[in-house]
């Protein structure tokens, strides 16, 4: 990026910036080359300042939460990479939770438990941020984030601040309107219900145990790589196609859960992409089903 460090620091002095930093240190797959600039806003105003600056200076930007659903290019990201994890306030008002986009979803679920609020138990093992979960309409064990969302506050690429209700968010399977309008999610209000603390806690524990038993959590990964095709399970198709253990470089189709591609050491984004392509081609040839990625692939 042409802009000098000094200019960014001078124009937005309160915002923490890092320059020429490898993104693999931030991503769950441990892939990702060098970002020109990373910004860590702590408030809505700071996000707004960055978006406005980028618009006026014609600089591209990319938003990351916990980077738990991403494969970031080995060539890194141009422009400003906005990482929202320093914006992580969670507040409870009776049966509502207002969480900043960068708050850990898991932390938010435990905050709900602390107030005997039910409705987020299904999400208590999803390692993303609240913003990333709403963007993706993350889901598990018959639950999806859409069911708990009341409203979502965003900033649009033209700098407009806007609030969407759940209907306007147009949630679909691992989809939301925010994926199609370039919105940055800033705050999310969840509407939950008072419940029985012991029941909420038991369900959260059981789901966590199920994850530990079924998922290869001992390796870096981005969770399930593929969306569930209508009428099938991606993991089962991959298993039936004999692809478990298939490896390119450091990226391997997990033997514990075929839907996961794990980094067994030194995997690059290119390794991941090669495994994904091979899995898609093989499943299509052997099982006749086209697998679509759930994971987002960012950068060149």
- List the x/- string, 140-169, binding to ligand FAD by CB under 6 A: x-----------------------------
Active-site residue, 174 included: yes
Of 68 and 108, which has the nearer Cβ to ligand FAD? Answer: 68
Phi/psi at 129 (5° precision):
-90, 170
Directed axis angle between helix 197-214 and helix 105-114, to 10°? 150
Among 8, 63, 100, 267, binds ligand FAD (CB under 6 A): 63
Residues numbered 4 to 43 that lie near ligand FAD (CB under 6 A) are: 28
Among 16, 227, 296, 297, binds ligand FAD (CB under 6 A): 296
Transcribe 214-247 into DSSP letters. Answer: HS-TTS---SB-BPPPTTS-HHHHHHHTT-TT-E
Q: Is the CA virtual torsion 36, 181, 135, 289 positive or negative?
A: negative
Report d(CA 265, CA 179) in Å as an integer.
Answer: 31
Residue 70 contacts ligand FAD per CB under 6 A: yes
Stretch that binds ligand FAD, among 50-58, 127-135, 163-171, 228-236 (CB under 6 A): 127-135
Residues numbered 201 to 260 that lie near ligand FAD (CB under 6 A) are: 215, 217, 221-223
Transcribe 111-143 into DSSP letters. Answer: HHHHTTEES-GGGTT--SBHHHHHHHT-EETTE
Contact 138, 126 (CB under 8 A): yes
Among 131, 195, 235, 259, binds ligand FAD (CB under 6 A): 131
Active-site residue, 5 included: no
In the set 46, 104, 174, 228, the catalytic residue is 174
Among 97, 184, 192, 207, binds ligand FAD (CB under 6 A): 184
SS3 201: helix
Residue 262 corresponds to which tokens in the numbers above?
Answer: 């794990």
Residue 185 contacts ligand FAD per CB under 6 A: yes
Report the catalytic residues.
174, 224, 294
Q: Which residues bind ligand FAD (CB under 6 A)?
A: 28, 63-70, 84, 101, 126-129, 131-133, 135-136, 138-140, 178, 184-185, 215, 217, 221-223, 296
């Amino acid at each position: 990026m042409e802009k000098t460090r000094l200019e960014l620091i001078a124009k937005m002095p309160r915002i923490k910036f890092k320059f020429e930093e490898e993104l693999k240190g931030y991503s769950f797959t441990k892939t990702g080359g060098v970002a020109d600039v990373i910004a860590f806003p702590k408030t809505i105003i700071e996000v707004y300042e960055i978006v406005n600056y980028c618009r006026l200076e014609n600089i591209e930007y990319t938003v990351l939460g916990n980077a738990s659903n991403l494969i970031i290019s080995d060539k890194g990201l141009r422009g400003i990479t906005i990482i929202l994890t320093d914006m992580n306030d969670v507040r409870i008002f009776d049966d509502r939770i207002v969480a900043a986009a960068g708050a850990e979803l898991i932390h938010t679920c435990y905050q709900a438990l602390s107030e005997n609020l039910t409705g987020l138990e299904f999400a208590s093992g999803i390692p993303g941020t609240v913003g990333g979960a709403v963007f993706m309409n993350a889901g598990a064990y018959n639950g999806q984030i859409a069911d708990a969302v009341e409203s979502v506050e965003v900033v649009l690429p033209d700098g407009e601040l806007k609030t969407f209700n759940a209907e306007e968010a147009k949630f679909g399977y691992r989809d939301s309107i925010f994926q199609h309008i370039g919105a940055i999610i800033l705050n999310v209000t969840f509407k939950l219900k008072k419940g029985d603390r012991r029941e909420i806690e038991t369900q959260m524990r059981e789901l966590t145990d199920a994850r530990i038993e079924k998922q290869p959590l001992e390796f870096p990964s981005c969770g399930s790589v593929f969306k569930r095709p209508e009428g099938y399970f991606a993991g089962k198709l991959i298993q039936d196609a004999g692809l478990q253990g298939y490896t390119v470089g450091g990226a391997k189709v997990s033997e514990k859960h075929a839907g996961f591609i794990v980094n067994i050491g030194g995997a690059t984004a290119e390794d991941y992409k090669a495994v994904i392509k091979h899995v898609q081609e093989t499943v299509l040839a052997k099982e006749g089903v086209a697998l679509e990625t759930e994971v987002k692939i960012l950068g060149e």
